[in-house]
Amino acid sequence: MYSDLVNQFLAYSRKHPEGDGDIYDRYKRFLMFIGFDDVDASYEAALWMDRVADLMA
């Protein structure tokens, strides 16, 4: 599931490059754009950022 969401987010980001540059907020806004509510989008974005941090460690 995460890879599909991330791939969709990357495609969306390429088509809509405007934004504040904060990847967490951009991903959360994208999730809300595709139908997540605020709480679920925050949770999914936090999980994704946690996985990214694990990969960088």
Instruction: Read off the pTM.
Output: 0.75
What gap in Å lies between CA 57 and CA 33, rounded to an integer? Answer: 30
Domain containing 20 equals 4-56
User: What number is the average pLDDT over the span 31-35?
Assistant: 92
Contacts with 33 (C-beta within 8 Å, 6 or more apart), sequence order: 12
Angle formed at CA 30 by CA 56 and CA 10, multiple of 5 degrees: 55
Number of domains in the chain: 1
Contact yes or no for 13/26 (Cβ under 8 A):
yes
User: What number is the average pLDDT over the span 23-28?
Assistant: 88
pLDDT, tens only, 7-19: 888 888 888 877 6
8-12 long-range contacts (CB < 8 A, ≥24 apart) are 8/34
